[in-house]
């Protein structure tokens, strides 16, 4: 077990990529803090699955766009497990609208959750990790944040994920040499969001990728696990794209 007794805090871990990541880390021996915003039942289901397999996990409610919630989340995680070895900034907000429909409140929601919340969580974790001279942070970005992959109808989200990528490289410099900071950029992935897409949007997402399918949450989780693992000990400031070739088209 690569992460035996390591403590991993995963934001937005009650569903989708975060859920798969929590279960994967737990299967590798990690103690997992499962963050959620409002769906306590979903978070408890993840925790109960981990505990049923003799693992260790807690559910921690917090809205990462709220600085008070972030502080409380870290306090509760430290009270339960004593430290934090790995932070996965997975929580995100997505408000698809046209260029002319996006309003100030949409920008605030998307930026506060995807960018500012990730920064505030990283700073809280960074203090703990630098004190211990060891730690890993993985930020979940998106192919939409890549220079050539911004999408019409997702301008604010694309801009936010681009900021996450830029922030990752700067964080890697700020927290070196003791803390590694990387990002993962998933392509279209089988989640609650893609399940709500119309047939045309879904068909385009599938056919625009070289592998002609959506990514699975478990595939993104494997990328996150790798970036957090000893096998990636020489990697920092890197963006790992897991998109089935979607961004190459």
Count CB neighbours of 11 within 10 A: 27
Contact call for residues 77 and 58 (beta carbons, < 8 A) = yes
Going by the DSSP 8-state scheme, the letter that residue 216 receives in this structure is P
Tell me whether residue 157 is one of the annotated catalytic residues: yes
- Map residue 142 onto helix, strand or coil: coil
Contact call for residues 33 and 10 (beta carbons, < 8 A) = yes
Dihedral sign of CA atoms 152, 157, 159, 165 in order: negative
Cα 249 from Cα 244, distance rounded (Å): 11
Catalytic-labelled residue, pool 157, 162, 224, 228? 157
φ/ψ (deg, to 5) at 226: -60, -50
| Catalytic sites, residue numbers | 157
């Amino acid at each position: 077990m690569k992460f035996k007794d390591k403590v991993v805090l995963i934001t937005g871990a009650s569903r989708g990529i975060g859920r798969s990541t929590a279960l994967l880390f737990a299967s590798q021996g990690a103690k997992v803090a499962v963050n959620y915003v409002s769906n306590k039942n979903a978070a408890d289901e993840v925790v109960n699955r981990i505990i049923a397999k003799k693992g260790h996990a807690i559910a921690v409610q917090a809205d990462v766009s709220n600085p008070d919630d972030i502080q409380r989340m870290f306090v509760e995680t430290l009270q339960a497990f004593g430290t934090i070895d790995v932070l996965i900034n997975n929580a995100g907000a997505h408000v698809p609208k046209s260029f002319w429909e996006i309003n100030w409140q949409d920008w605030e929601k998307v930026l506060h959750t995807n960018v500012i919340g990730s920064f505030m969580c990283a700073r809280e974790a960074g203090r703990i990790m630098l004190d211990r001279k060891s730690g890993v942070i993985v930020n979940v970005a998106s192919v939409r944040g890549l220079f050539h992959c911004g999408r019409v109808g997702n301008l604010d989200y694309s801009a936010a994920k681009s900021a996450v990528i830029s922030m990752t490289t700067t964080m890697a410099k700020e927290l070196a040499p003791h803390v590694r900071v990387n990002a993962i950029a998933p392509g279209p992935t089988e989640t609650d969001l893609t399940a709500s897409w119309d047939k045309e949007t879904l068909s385009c997402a599938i056919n625009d990728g070289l592998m002609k399918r959506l990514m699975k949450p478990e595939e993104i989780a494997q990328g996150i696990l790798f970036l957090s693992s000893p096998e990636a000990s020489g990697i920092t400031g890197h963006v790992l794209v897991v998109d089935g070739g979607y961004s190459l088209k």
